[in-house]
Structure 1
Amino acid sequence: MNPNSPIYIVLLGLHFGSVTFGFGGVGLSGLYASRLSTGDPESIKYFSSRRIGPKVLVVVALLFGLVLIALSRHPLLFVDAPWLRIAFIAYLIAATISGALIWPIEATVRRLITTGNFEMTAEVRVAMKKILRLSLIVDLAFSLALILMVTQPGHG
């Protein structure tokens, strides 16, 4: 499919939007975790609600990306383009850290908040700092994937 076709452009926009908002949610987790670890009581509101939006968007972004590869003029581009493989690996790293590490910590904090057992203990502070560090890694991996997708180095 021609990358200038309206359908391709719409799919690309949906892919970009879902990736940006999905991983943006992970970035917000890091920000609010940092604030909560320093004692900001307003940050509790962020962790008290179950936010499935970023989780859904991270998966949807992957699906849109795979569809875009399949619809491209050269579906085997994945094999021939190191930038695309590296971007895909960076995306998988970001998604894995989010799903396997950050979101379970958030769920534990949310459970403490909703059961009324939430106290800012040293353990919770450590968990918040862990979310912050992990979200920074996710942001770096996402940024690498985004830069590679936009610049497509070596793609002519």
Structure 2
Amino acid sequence: MDVVKERKAFRILVILYPQSPLFANSDINTIRQQTVARLNAIEADARTLFLATWPHRTIAVFDLCNKNYNFAQAHQPEDIPVAAIHFQTNDKIKIGMLPGLKACEINNDVARYHQLHGYAVLPMVEDHRNGNVPTYMNLRNMGSTAEYA
């Protein structure tokens, strides 16, 4: 991928399917390491943003080479290209850049997750398995953000 070779900023959406060996534990560090390795990128350039687990999917989001990422303003959608990596099985892995509208949707979702999770440290984690329903107690628009402005 050219964006990796050129070390341009982009977001990575990772989708794990139940047949993927990464799915069983859904460990965010292992997912990041495998994602970076698949892209032939530098792990130090990766920032872990989000992990959500469901009974039949796990989704993770990372930024790569995004020097403009601003945690305090991350609840505002960022216009950044998005690549998707589908870890379907051990041997079946699909990688590609998302078209504009889909990338915009992912960027809006990431901003919404920042809003919902407040100013908690990264990564934002949601577990929807076993009937769990995430609760959001510290929305960004619920309290003072003066220290982050």
**Is TM more than 0.5 here?**
no
Bigger relative contact order, structure 1 or 2 (CA pairs below 8 A, ≥6 apart): 1
> TM-score normalized by structure 2?
0.24
Instruction: Looking at secondary structure, tell me which structure has more strand per residue.
Output: 2
- Decide which structure has the larger Cα Rg and report it: 1
